[in-house]
Amino acid sequence: DQQVKQNSPSLSVQEGRISILNCDYTNSMFDYFLWYKKYPAEGPTFLISISSIKDKNEDGRFTVFLNKSAKHLSLHIVPSQPGDSAVYFCAASDPIQGAQKLVFGQGTRLTINP
Amino acid sequence: DTGVSQNPRHKITKRGQNVTFRCDPISEHNRLYWYRQTLGQGPEFLTYFQNEAQLEKSRLLSDRFSAERPKGSFSTLEIQRTEQGDSAMYLCASSSRGWGDTEAFFGQGTRLTVV
């Protein structure tokens, strides 16, 4: 039962353009959402998060949008830079299952082309 | 502060053998998490400690798996009688507050291969 889904395994974007990574979830009890970035041979690195009481959170080039009615969130990166090439994971937490238990999606490999 | 440290980085073992991994969290982080990641998947939660107390465990953590954090500092994850399905990257993370803070950090992981 995949509660958090990233349906695009890969995405290729031109440098300077906008990258949009999508994530869908099924559990309506999720109340906190996070995006992580992972380079090869390294652990995931926290990027940005959003609480379910908000619909947008922005941090520099990164913006996360949350659409609770559609159970959908997206990460926008603008402008995209070559160093953004990595695997991106979205994750969610459910206070009922345990707030410390993050549920991750399968990841999307982002490639920024020069 | 050198971040979350995991040892070994790689481990190859024969099926049926026991293995133990170690995680040294960032000093003064009282929360420690273990996750497992298989190829093409995101990390899956295994267990969580607050100080030395193991507060949450996943159903993925079968009887062959045991995790400890004896003094509330480093943690060990032991897998007994390893099976080929145990082959994965085992990730440790630590934080002083809950998820969503930039203070939650992952280690580089231990890659286990069971042959």
| Degrees, nearest 5: CA angle B88-A112-A84 | 60
Instruction: Compare CB distances from A102 to B40, B99, B105 and report the shortest one's residue.
Output: B99
Closest chain B CA to residue A43: B108
**Does the distance separating the beta carbons of B42 and A106 come in below 8 Å?**
yes
The CA distance from B14 to B18, in Å, is 9
pLDDT higher at B60 or B83:
B83
CB B21 within 8 A of CB B90: yes
Query: How far does CA A83 lie from the centroid of its chain?
Result: 17
**Whether the predicted pLDDT of B51 surpasses 70:** yes
Q: What single string gives the DSSP state of each residue in B60-96? A: TS-TTEEEE-TTSS-EEEEESS--GGG-EEEEEEEES
Nearest CA distance, B40 vs chain A (angstrom) = 6
Radius of gyration of chain B (CA): 13
pLDDT (tens digit, 9 = 90+) per residue, A66-77?
Answer: 999 999 999 999
**Whether the predicted pLDDT of B22 surpasses 70:** yes
Q: What is the pLDDT of residue B90?
A: 97
For residue B4, the chain A residues in CB contact (below 8 A) are 43
**Does the distance separating the beta carbons of B91 and A44 come in below 8 Å?**
yes
Q: What is the pLDDT of residue B104?
A: 76
Give the list of residues 6+ apart from residue B2 with CB closer than 8 angstroms, or none.
Answer: none
**Does the distance separating the beta carbons of B55 and A104 come in below 8 Å?**
no
Q: Which of A98, A90, A88, A76 is nearest to A4 (CA)?
A: A90
Mean pLDDT of A79-105: 87
Q: Is A43 on the interface with B (CB under 8 A)?
A: yes
Percent of chain B beyond pLDDT 70?
94
Residue A83 DSSP SS3: helix
The CA distance from A18 to A10, in Å, is 15
Q: Is A105 on the interface with B (CB under 8 A)?
A: yes
Q: Which of A21, A38, A11 is nearest to A72 (CA)?
A: A21
Question: B85: alpha, beta or left, given left = phi > 0 and alpha = psi -120 to 50?
Answer: alpha
Cis bond before residue A9 (omega within 30° of 0)? no
**Whether the predicted pLDDT of A4 surpasses 90:** yes
**Whether the predicted pLDDT of B101 surpasses 70:** no
